[in-house]
Amino acid sequence: MTDVRAIHLLSPRLANQIAAGEVVERPSSVAKELLENCLDAGAKRIDIDVEQGGVKRLQIRDDGHGIAADQLPLALARHATSKITALEDLEGVASLGFRGEALASISSVSRLTLTSRTASAEQAWQVEAEGRDMEPRVQPAAHPVGTTVEVCDLFFNTPARRKFLRTEKTEFDHLQDVIKRMALARFDVAFHLRHNGKTVLALHPANDDISQARRIAAVCGDAFLEQALPINVERNGLHLWGWVGLPTFSRSKADMQHFYVNGRIVSDRLVSHAVRQAYRDVLYGGRHPAFVLFLELDPNSVDVNVHPTKHEVRFRENRSVHDFLYGVLHRAIADVRPHDNLEAPASTLHLHAQPAVSGLAAGEFGPQEHIPLSDTSSNIQPRFQASVQGHSFNKGSYSQQPPPPVRPSEQYQHAYQAFAQPLDNLAEPAQEEIPPLGFAIAQLKGIYILAENQHGLVLVDMHAAHERVMYERLKLAMAHEGLRGQPLLVPETLALSAREVDCAEQYAQWFTQLGFELQGLGPESLAIRQVPALLKQADAAELVRDVLSDLMEYGSSDRIQAHINELLATMSCHGAVRANRRLTLVEMNALLRDMEVTERSGQCNHGRPTWTQLGMDELDKLFLRGR
C-alpha cells in the first residue's frame, strides 16, 4: 500500500528558515536588507559595525524616523510591512523594500536585537528574537531617534548553512561591496563602516559635484574618475545619468559595473546586452567596461517584484529601454575625440570638465543604425589635404609603393617649414592653433608616428589608427548604400516554433532591409530565399535562429550587423597601411587630422589603443629633470 503523507502547515520557525534560504545567503545579504530599510526610513547617516566579517556580529544604526514601541513585535513578524497595503501598490513600488520578510527571515537564523525610537517617543524600546519560535520580548532601552539592528551568530542554529560561509576576509569583502554599491545609490547619505573596531570606510554626504566625485573616487578609484565620461540624457520619460568609463579603462572582470533603476541596485540581462552592444567595436577581446549609471523612470513602468533578492527587474517596455540605453552609450563613446582625452581629467575639482552627452543629440540611433562621421573637410587645414602621388590620404587611400626618398624640394618645403628653423628663431605657435594630436615630426621603425602637441609627445600606431578610419568610412558607406541581397539557388527551410515564426512575420520588413527574404511555409516552418551578399558564406539558418532569439528576448538584435561589421573590419585591416610603410610628413599629418574627426578613433577595430600621450611631466621624470 502506498504511503500517503498527511498535508500539514509548516511551523512559523521552519517557514521563516525556508524564506531565509531565499533572502539570507551570507552577511552581505543581511546588510543589504537592513540598509534598504534604513534608506526607506529616511536615514541621512548609517553606521555599520562588523565583527569577523559579519558572521559574529553585524550592527547597523540609522537616524531615520524609527519604529513605534507597539509595532516592534510586528516588525519581526513575517509578511509585515508599512510600505504597501494593497495589490495595486505593487504596480508602482517606490520603496527599496516591500515584501516584509527580511527581519523575520534574519531573526530565524540569528540572534537579533532591534532597538528603535521615534521623534515623538519619550524613550526607546527594544525587541529581541533568538531564531526560535518564541514570543518577542519588548523592553525599554536608551537610544537616540532612529533604529539599530544587531545581528549576532549568523546561522548558529543551521550548521549546514554556516559551513557554506567563506573566510572572514571573503565575507567582509562581499559585505563591503554591498555598502559601496549602496553608497553610490544615495549620495545624500553618510556611510561609516568599522570592522573589528577599525574604521574602514567613512563617506560623508555628497550634495555637489566635487563631493560626488570624491565618493566616486573612494568607491571606484581615482583611475576610473580620470577616465570617465559624464552622461545626463532625458527623453520620453527615461532619464539616464552617471559616468561611463572610456574604452581605455576596461577590466578583466565585470566587477565595476554599477547600474541602478530608481535607486535600486540591478543586475539585469537586458541592461548588460545594451551595454555590450554599445562597447562592441572598441573593447579588446574579453575585456569588460566600467560604469556607474542611474536610470530613472515611472515606477509603474518597471516591475521590481520579480526575484526574492530584488536584484532583477522587468521593464514593461523592454525594447524602448534597451534602445535608449544602447543609443545613449553608443553615441557617448562615438563622440569621444582626442581632444576630450587630452582635457583635464574629471577629477574632484573638474568633475564635469568633459561635456556631458546632451539629450538632443544622444541616443537618436537604434542598434541597427549607423552614426555618420563628422565632415572632415571643414576641420582640416588646406596644407594637410595635399595629395601624395595622386592619392588623397583623407579619402582613406594610400599609394602602396614606397615613395622616393624625401628631398628638400619645393614640394615638401611647407611640411618642414615649422621644424627646419633654428630653435632660437622658432616662434611658438598659438595654443589654439595646435591640433589635439599636434603635428608629426618623425616615423619610428615604420610603425609609429611621433607627433608634438601642446602637452608633449604623441605616439600613434599608424596601422591601428588607419584601420579605424577606414572601418568607420566603410560602415558609413554601407549605411548610405544599403545591403544588397543575393537570392539562394535552393531556398533553405527551417523548422521553428510557432512563436519564432510569428516573430519573423512581425519583423519581416526589418529582415528585408538587411538583405534577407523570409517566407512562411506553415505554422512552424520558414524558408530563407535571400541573404545579404556579404554574408553568402555564413550559416544563414543558424544566424536567423539567433536573431529571432534576440528579437523575442530583447525586442532587437544586432547579430546581422555584427557579422557584417566583422567583414568590414577585416577589409579595413587588410586595406590599412602596413608596418614598414614609410609615410611622408604630409601623410602622417593627414592621418592625425583624420583621427581627430573620426568616431572611436582611440581604439582600432580589435579594441587596441591607437595612440597615447606622454606629457612633459612624464618625459621630465624619465630624465630626472627638476629633481
> Same domain for 503 and 594?
yes
Winning range, highest mean pLDDT, from 236-245, 337-346, 372-381: 236-245
Q: CA 380, CA 50: separation in Å to the nearest integer? A: 61
484 class by beta-carbon count within 10 Å (0-12 exposed, 13-18 middle, 19+ buried): exposed
pLDDT at 206 (0 to 100)? 93
**Residue 467: inside a domain:** yes
**Residue 506, H or E segment:** helix 498-506
> Same domain for 70 and 185?
yes
CB atoms within 10 A of CB 74: 16
Residues 6+ apart with CB under 8 A from 110: 30, 131, 151, 152, 153, 154, 155, 156
pLDDT at 570 (0 to 100)? 78
Distances (CA, A) of 605 to 334, 339, 533, 568, 573: 13, 20, 22, 10, 8
Q: Is the pLDDT of residue 456 over 80?
A: yes
pLDDT at 131 (0 to 100)? 60
Model pLDDT for residues 120-172, shown as the tens digit of each residue: 999 999 999 876 555 688 899 999 999 999 999 999 888 888 888 999 999 99
Q: Is the pLDDT of residue 373 over 50?
A: no
Residues spanned by the domain of 193: 12-203
pLDDT at 337 (0 to 100)? 81
For the chain, what is the domain count? Answer: 3
**Residue 423: inside a domain:** no
Q: CA 365, CA 367: separation in Å to the nearest integer? A: 7
The more confident residue out of 539 and 465 is 465
pLDDT bucket at 527, cuts 50 / 70 / 90: very high
pLDDT at 209 (0 to 100)? 87
Q: Is the pLDDT of residue 315 over 80?
A: yes
Average pLDDT over residues 253-265: 92
Model pLDDT for residues 578-596, shown as the tens digit of each residue: 888 889 999 999 999 999 9
Q: Is the pLDDT of residue 49 over 50?
A: yes
**Residue 378: inside a domain:** no
> pLDDT above 70 covers what percent of the chain?
81
CB atoms within 10 A of CB 5: 5
Q: CA 588, CA 590: separation in Å to the nearest integer? A: 5
> Same domain for 330 and 448?
no
> Same domain for 195 and 230?
no
CB 250 within 8 A of CB 290: yes
Q: CA 115, CA 148: separation in Å to the nearest integer? A: 5
> Same domain for 146 and 60?
yes
Q: CA 304, CA 91: separation in Å to the nearest integer? A: 9
> Same domain for 489 and 627?
yes
> Same domain for 194 and 335?
no
Task: Return the closest-CA partner of residue 456 out of 616, 284, 287.
Answer: 616
Point out the domain boundary residue: 166, 183, 203.
203
First-to-last alpha carbon distance for the chain, in angstroms, is 94
Q: CA 11, CA 558: separation in Å to the nearest integer? A: 52
200 class by beta-carbon count within 10 Å (0-12 exposed, 13-18 middle, 19+ buried): middle
3-state secondary structure of 365: coil
Q: Is the pLDDT of residue 352 over 60?
A: no
- On average, the pLDDT of the chain sits at 80
Distances (CA, A) of 562 to 280, 285, 336: 9, 15, 22
**Residue 360: inside a domain:** no
Q: Is the pLDDT of residue 112 over 90?
A: yes
> Same domain for 304 and 182?
no
For residue 283, the domain's CATH number is: 3.30.230.10
pLDDT bucket at 94, cuts 50 / 70 / 90: confident
For residue 119, the domain's CATH number is: 3.30.565.10
3-state secondary structure of 413: helix
DSSP string, 374-386: P-SGGGS-GGGS-
Q: CA 390, CA 410: separation in Å to the nearest integer? A: 17
pLDDT bucket at 189, cuts 50 / 70 / 90: very high
Cell numbers that stand for 64 in this block: 531615520
Q: What is the CA radius of gyration of the chain?
A: 31
Report the DSSP pairing between strands 448-453 and 525-532: unpaired
Q: Is the pLDDT of residue 365 over 80?
A: no
**Residue 417: inside a domain:** no
pLDDT bucket at 482, cuts 50 / 70 / 90: low
> Same domain for 134 and 29?
yes
> pLDDT above 90 covers what percent of the chain?
43
> Same domain for 60 and 106?
yes
CB 130 within 8 A of CB 173: no
Q: CA 362, CA 335: separation in Å to the nearest integer? A: 9
**Residue 512: inside a domain:** yes
> Same domain for 536 and 497?
yes
**Residue 422: inside a domain:** no
pLDDT at 170 (0 to 100)? 95
Is the pTM value of this prediction over 0.75? no
Residues forming beta bridges with residue 501, ordered by sequence position: none
pLDDT at 538 (0 to 100)? 76
CB 200 within 8 A of CB 191: no
For residue 496, the domain's CATH number is: 3.30.1370.100
Average pLDDT over residues 495-503: 91
**Residue 547: inside a domain:** yes
Q: Is the pLDDT of residue 333 over 80?
A: yes
Average pLDDT over residues 346-370: 37
Cell numbers that stand for 597 in this block: 574627426
> Same domain for 160 and 254?
no
pLDDT at 51 (0 to 100)? 97
pLDDT at 483 (0 to 100)? 67
Point out the domain boundary residue: 203, 237, 255.
203
Cell numbers that stand for 598 in this block: 573620426
Point out the domain boundary residue: 153, 180, 203.
203
pLDDT at 242 (0 to 100)? 94
pLDDT at 338 (0 to 100)? 81
pLDDT at 288 (0 to 100)? 92
